[in-house]
Amino acid sequence: MHGMTLDRSLAEELTRAISTSGTDTATIIAPFTGEILHELPLSKIADVEDAAAAARVAQSAWRAAGFEHRRRVLLRAHDLLLESRELLMDAVQSETGKTRGQAFEEVFQGAQATRYYAVSAERVLASHRRRAGIPLVMQTRVSFKPKGIVGVITPWNFPLSLSLMDVVPALAAGNAVVQKADNQGALSILASRKAFIDAGVPAALWAVVAGDGSEIGTAVIDCADYVCFTGSTATGTKVAERAASRLIGASLELGGKNPLIVLDDVDPAEAAANAVYACFSSMGQLCVSIERIYVQRAVAAQFTDEFVARVKALKQGAAFDYSTDVGSLTSPAQLERVQAHVSDAVAKGARVLAGGVARPELGPMFFEPTVLADVTDDMECAANETFGPVVAIHIVDSADEAIVRANDSEFGLNSSIFSGSRARARRLADRIDAGSVNINEGYRGSFSSIDAPMGGMKKSGLGRRNGREGILRFVESRTVSEATGLVTLPRSGAEFAALTGTMLVVLVALKAIGRR
Ligand code: NAD
């Protein structure tokens, strides 16, 4: 039976896959109701080390099995993910409090990532010839070796899709994974992992551990050959420091304070409809969600009226079907943070155009989608990520001013430009300091473009997931160069004296014919 909170016994059956030898548990609360969802078994440091040792053995065989085997297994997992979609959406909604529609986005994105890397890994990682240092005298090839164990540390907000967007390319490249799940996201991860195990991924190859971030997350970094982290900028900085101390690579997908620019040539109603989704999908608990709107004065009044009316019309509630537009925040800590940002802004003079209050009659963590005006730099929510359903509208006098203010942030993750002219928006997109720019969309254009890199500039991160970049993170390149024996390279002063003239002629000739 689907379309309901995940049954506690089923939840506890899934969580038996957590790598643990102990009996400690964490009580996980369902955001829709505040009731106990399940008891999550917690791992100890020794469990992480044991899981890593087993993963290393499993990785050796997985790597040796080759691309074709991995492709078949991952494509089967793709089908099983789709078959179990209702269960997966139940798990995601039960843990996060998001709507059915936004839970579907996670399943869609997870399946996309699985198919994409199953099919493209071999092509991207095929060994190939590169231009040799001295043509004819040498031949050079590059091949790729999986890192070994990839540590994946994931947050609670998109527990299924963000996990698969990192785990699948790591597996497709021939690695093992030791994953630290956020306690509030473990169920969605384990429910999706089951599809991969049933499809033929050895259980030991993809270990999932849970527990305190600083203890168990650190243990994961300490056993990994590479770490990819998704979470806050504060924690990401610690992860980077730990990885640096071990001289392993890291990719960091961190926070944002994402701007949306509304130009004076938009259709205000259409722009408002798209902007609402961009700000309030998953209750703004989305790294690429919009929290700042810069609207040109000529359309500001009309856009704001349309926007506010649409926000007020959003249907909010705890439903396991597609009958609601927005759901709940995920935890009491999130509710506290959102309330703190709103009351600080109001105390300092911001105007609430919509929302601004909790909705305890809907559930313990519900808060209304909130639109603020007159937000000034001294307010908490002006420059800091709220990570919730709060957006500030600012009026600007020109597109140039909008660009300057959009870029005036320590973050640079996502951004958006709405315009009646895609060509005009494209020209402005080039001036935005962010890893992604969406034109006439909030975030779904870039987020669903699984073939294109996703990541942040400035304090929004390091490295990229998705696309070629997303799998090249997980391999070491190895250059093999061989002497052909056609010409012997100079080894003595006399041999140099004989050959340098010819070699200089070669350099001049290569430049003359435009060769790289
Ligand atoms: P968080 O940084 O608190 O936690 C993320 C993960 O790190 C959790 O699994 C946590 O247990 C673990 N962790 C905590 N301390 C650790 C440590 N010292 N070492 C290793 N691991 C540790 O973040 P959160 O509150 O779960 O997620 C919200 C944040 O994540 C927001 O800032 C959001 O913007 C960001 N985020 C970014 C992306 C992206 O792709 N750029 C995606 C989703 C979320």
**What are 168-204's pLDDT values in tens digits?**
999 999 999 999 999 999 999 999 999 999 999 999 9
Residue 1 has pLDDT above 80, yes or no: no
Alpha carbon nearest to ligand 1 atom 18, residue: 214
**Which of 43, 96, 153 to probe ligand 1 with, by most ligand atoms within 8 A of CB?**
153
Helices 186-199 & 161-172 angle (0-180, nearest 10): 30
Give me the residues paired with residue 143 across strands. Answer: 478
Residue 11 has pLDDT above 90, yes or no: yes
Q: How far is the CA of 334 from the centre of ligand 1 (A)?
A: 13
Cα dihedral sign, 421-422-428-433: positive
Q: Per-residue pLDDT averaged across 158-175, rounded?
A: 98
Residues in the chain: 516
Q: Per-residue pLDDT averaged across 467-482, rounded?
A: 98
100-114, 374-388, 395-409, 498-512: which has the minimum mean pLDDT?
498-512
Distance in angstroms (rounded) separating the CA atoms of residues 116 and 127 = 19
Residues of the chain with pLDDT > 70, as a percent, come to: 100
- Is there a contact between 447 and 421 (Cβ–Cβ < 8 Å)? no
CB < 8 Å & 24+ apart, contacts of 46-51: 46/21, 47/19, 47/20, 47/21, 47/22, 47/209, 48/19, 48/178, 48/209, 48/216, 48/219, 48/220, 48/223, 49/219, 49/223, 50/19, 50/21, 51/19, 51/178, 51/204, 51/207, 51/209
Residue 133: predicted pLDDT: 85
Residue 445 has pLDDT above 90, yes or no: yes
Assigned token pair, 205? 């190859």
Q: How far is the CA of 211 from the centre of ligand 1 (A)?
A: 13
Find all residues with CB under 8 Å of 396, minimum gap 6, and list them.
294, 295, 296, 297, 402, 405
Residue 200: predicted pLDDT: 98
Residue 480 has pLDDT above 80, yes or no: yes
Find all residues with CB under 8 Å of 31, minimum gap 6, and list them.
95, 96, 97, 327, 328, 329, 330, 331, 363, 364, 365
Distance in angstroms (rounded) separating the CA atoms of residues 446 and 425 = 15
Distance in angstroms (rounded) separating the CA atoms of residues 271 and 430 = 21
Q: Per-residue pLDDT averaged across 455-472, rounded?
A: 98
Cα dihedral sign, 407-374-444-402: negative
Alpha carbon nearest to ligand 1 atom 17, residue: 214
Decide the pairing of beta strands 414-418 and 249-253. Answer: unpaired
Q: Per-residue pLDDT averaged across 46-52, rounded?
A: 98
Q: Per-residue pLDDT averaged across 459-466, rounded?
A: 98
**Which of 184, 242, 287, 415 to probe ligand 1 with, by most ligand atoms within 8 A of CB?**
287
Assigned token pair, 353? 């155009």
Q: Per-residue pLDDT averaged across 270-289, rounded?
A: 97
Q: Which positions are catalytic? A: 253, 287
Residues of the chain with pLDDT > 90, as a percent, come to: 96
Residue 402: predicted pLDDT: 98
Residue 479: predicted pLDDT: 97
Output the CA angle 181-171-44, nearest 5 degrees.
30
Cα dihedral sign, 426-431-436-439: negative
**Which of 48, 227, 229, 230 to probe ligand 1 with, by most ligand atoms within 8 A of CB?**
230
Q: Per-residue pLDDT averaged across 271-296, rounded?
A: 98
Residue 448: predicted pLDDT: 92
Residue 515: predicted pLDDT: 84
Q: Per-residue pLDDT averaged across 207-220, rounded?
A: 98
- What is the pLDDT of the chain when averaged over all its residues? 97
* Each residue's pLDDT tens digit, 318-329: 999 999 999 999
- Is there a contact between 158 and 454 (Cβ–Cβ < 8 Å)? no
Residue 61: predicted pLDDT: 98
Residue 481: predicted pLDDT: 96
Burial class from Cβ neighbours inside 10 Å (0-12, 13-18, 19+) for residue 494 reads exposed
- CA 131 to chain CA centroid, nearest Å: 35
Residue 462: predicted pLDDT: 97
Residue 247 has pLDDT above 90, yes or no: yes
Task: Look at residues 227, 383, 386, 402 and name the one whose alpha carbon lies nearest to residue 298.
Answer: 402
Q: How far is the CA of 230 from the centre of ligand 1 (A)?
A: 5
Find all residues with CB under 8 Å of 328, minimum gap 6, and list them.
31, 32, 97, 98, 283, 318, 362, 363, 365, 366
Distance in angstroms (rounded) separating the CA atoms of residues 331 and 30 = 9
- Is there a contact between 149 and 48 (Cβ–Cβ < 8 Å)? no
Q: How far is the CA of 121 from the centre of ligand 1 (A)?
A: 27
374 three-state secondary structure: coil
Edge-to-edge strands of the sheet including 390-396? 351-354, 370-373, 390-396, 290-296, 258-262, 414-418, 436-439
- Is there a contact between 260 and 293 (Cβ–Cβ < 8 Å)? yes
Does 217 sit in the ligand 1 pocket, CB within 6 Å?
yes
- CA 326 to chain CA centroid, nearest Å: 21
